[in-house]
Amino acid sequence: MKSDLQASYKNPVKYAAFGSCDTVYDMTGDTTSFTLDPSTIYVVADNAPARTKIAACVNVKKSGYYRIWVQELNDKSQKNESFYLSVVYPNDSLITACDSNLGPYKVVPDTTAPDTVDSQHRYAGLFFFKKGINKVLLNHYSKIVNEYPEYWNGPTDSSSVFSKPNSVHFKKMTLIYSNGVFDAALSYSAKTDTVIRINGQPVQAVPKGGDYQYELKLSNVGTFTLRNTDLMATVPDSVEFLNIQPVPTDTMGDTLHWRFDTLSPGLEKIITIDARASNALVNTPHKIFSSAWVYARCDTLLGNNTDSTTVYAFDPCDFFTPEMPQIQTFPSSVNQGDSVSVRVRLPKGVVSWDVLVTYVNGRVDSSYADAFIASTGNAADRWLTLQPAFTDTRLLTGANQENIIFEVRSLDKCGHFNTAQDTVTVRRIIEKYDLELNYTAQTDTTVSCNGQSVKAVLEGG
């Protein structure tokens, strides 16, 4: 990757002062021109110390953006009289053009115009000047040709580059104040499906091991086109980034880096990051903090260049209220051999459950509901009628009635084990008999006794 000069207005690169200014030109208005001596204001390719020179020292009355136009002497026989400008501030920090075309530099390529001492003005870039004396440096393109060979005519090996003077001479410079701003705005947010309260305040949260998303939004809220804008974001601890769109330009340790060549005023770039919180977190809620920042060339309004976002990874069991299962049987009393309808209601968060049937002698039937459970699964928070109905309502002792206990057991996702019971009474069937006795005599004789006809038998008959 090319080693671009990353000078910013927050942390400027310090640069050599290049000596004192022999002449200082005052900006008397929004446009100022001054004549230069081409015999002294020049740079060459074949002499390292002479590849940079102070072209002009300008006393700026108000900080702002200025476009620079220059008039140079051109030697048509020399094919590599390309150059670029840079500006040294009163505190000796150096910046390059805001509208760069090669990395951080605004290279003015060699012209094919005829030899003339009255070359047309050539645009050399837009620069931010600070109030006070600013030094405008003339740099020969040969200084950066190894990194940026795009405008070099011919071989770029050292012997070829530095074998001829290819001198660049200035005879006039014009500065024009440009009313506008470079302003990159950055917002960084997290999107989760859950909000929890910490110290009474609602915060974005994600279950440990859960997925969520980050969104980075870079906006050009200024009036100039942003060029070579760098956006960085940190990868938080205990987080895995699953998918990033667009893909970062490169990654440096735990920092993701994107570079955007241009961004016109009013437009924005959106980056989405799918993330997953670690499932191995022990101390929860765990604070997941991530920051992002943008470096936009010539942006002097730095208050909106950084942002951060926080998500809390939590253990769902820290906020889980366990519930009891429920069980109902109908009817509550049956004759032996009759069927019983059983229904259950499972608590939220159930991960497994079972139904046990316990008889009076301690015998336990744990298989009655197995087939139903296998087909139904963990359907929580609604009543389930077990199929088929329970029919094994037998008596196991000599008693006329016995109790059968139906118990539902549930285990929830946070390890809470709970039970509920209901009881059915089974009665013995007792059979009843109604007996009737008839006793009669059979004779061949009937006599009258007290006016009543009765059966009679002769003595000895």
Per residue in 72-102, pLDDT tens? Answer: 887 777 888 899 999 999 988 999 999 999 9
Contacts of 141 (CB under 8 A, 6+ apart): 45, 80, 82, 83, 84, 107, 109, 151, 152
Mean pLDDT of 125-136: 95
**Coil, strand, or helix at residue 356?**
strand
Write out the two tokens for 349. 């968060």
Mean pLDDT of 424-443: 75
* CATH architecture, domain defined by 184-319: Sandwich (2.60)
Q: What is the pTM (predicted TM-score) of this model? A: 0.69
**Coil, strand, or helix at residue 317?**
helix
Tell me if 234 sits within 8 A of 292, measured CB to CB.
Answer: yes
Asked whether residue 445 carries a pLDDT value surpassing 50, the answer given is yes
Contacts of 375 (CB under 8 A, 6+ apart): none
Q: Which CATH class is domain 326-427?
A: mainly beta
Lowest-pLDDT choice from 30-34, 206-210, 449-453: 449-453
Lowest-pLDDT choice from 21-25, 108-112, 114-118, 342-346: 114-118
- Burial of 413 from C-beta contacts in 10 A (0-12 / 13-18 / 19+): middle
Q: Give the C-alpha distances (Å, rounded to integers) separating 311 from 207, 238, 281.
A: 10, 12, 14
R_g of the chain computed on alpha carbons: 48
**Coil, strand, or helix at residue 207?**
strand
> Binning pLDDT at 50, 70 and 90, where does residue 415 land?
very high
* CATH architecture, domain defined by 13-178: Sandwich (2.60)
Q: Give the C-alpha distances (Å, rounded to integers) separating 209 from 184, 227, 240, 301, 445.
A: 35, 39, 10, 39, 110
List for the chain the helix, strand, coil content (%; round to 5).
5, 50, 45
> What is the per-residue burial (b if ≥16 Cβ within 10 Å, else e) of 433-460?
eeeeeeeeeeeeeeeeeeeeeeeeeeee
Asked whether residue 114 carries a pLDDT value surpassing 70, the answer given is no
Task: Say yes or no: do domains 13-178 and 184-319 share a fold.
Answer: no
The two counts, helices (H) then strands (E), for the chain are 2, 33
Q: Report the distance separating Cα 390 and Cα 367, nearest Å.
A: 11
Asked whether residue 141 carries a pLDDT value surpassing 80, the answer given is yes
Q: Report the distance separating Cα 123 and Cα 208, nearest Å.
A: 57
Question: Which H or E run includes 371?
Answer: helix 370-376
What residue ranges do the domains of the chain occupy? 13-178, 184-319, 326-427
Q: Report the distance separating Cα 404 and Cα 381, nearest Å.
A: 26
